[in-house]
Amino acid sequence: MRIGELARQSGVSVRALRYYEEQGLLESTRTAGGQREFENSAVDRVRFFQTLYAAGLSSRRIAELLPCIDTGGTTKEQQAMLQSEREALAHRIAELHEASARLDVLITASNARSLEAV
């Protein structure tokens, strides 16, 4: 499929797709006229990137993890990278929980005052 179709199906902009390719995250063949041609599997791949981006990974980091993603992470180094990334994610999740808890304190404190007023 061409880039516009991939953009529609994966829900990102054409510009973003070209950027991903530039960063080495996506591959494509070219038509005789020089237009990009993507595999159908690129749709899932791009969606996966979105998930990783949402989780706070950078393009560079995703590119580093790509061999693990494509080959399944066979070497020890790749295993270690996946592990450390998962730990980093766990750390980030904990931070979010912390922030959420802090907000909860504010919310419930305010509710308490509202109740006092009654």
**The one among 59, 73, 88, 89 contacting DNA by CB under 7 A:** 59
Q: How many Å apart are CA 27 and CA 37, to the nearest integer? A: 9
Looking only at residues 72 through 111 of this chain, which bind a copy of itself when binding is defined by CB under 8 A? 72-74, 78-79, 82-83, 85-86, 89-90, 92-93, 95-100, 102-104, 106-107, 109-110
Give the Å distances, CA to CA, from 114 to 71, 101, 110, 117: 57, 20, 6, 5
Nearer to DNA, 7 or 42 (CB): 7
Q: How many Å apart are CA 39 and CA 51, to the nearest integer? A: 20
Gyration radius of the chain's alpha carbons: 21
Q: How many Å apart are CA 99 and CA 36, to the nearest integer? A: 43
Q: Is 40 in the site for a copy of itself (CB under 8 A)?
A: no
Q: How many Å apart are CA 111 and CA 22, to the nearest integer? A: 51
Q: Is 75 in the site for DNA (CB under 7 A)?
A: no
Nearer to DNA, 79 or 102 (CB): 102
User: What is the closest distance, in whole angstroms, from the C-beta atom of residue 77 to a copy of itself in the complex?
Assistant: 12
* Residues forming the site for a copy of itself (CB under 8 A): 48, 51-52, 54-57, 68-69, 72-74, 78-79, 82-83, 85-86, 89-90, 92-93, 95-100, 102-104, 106-107, 109-110, 113
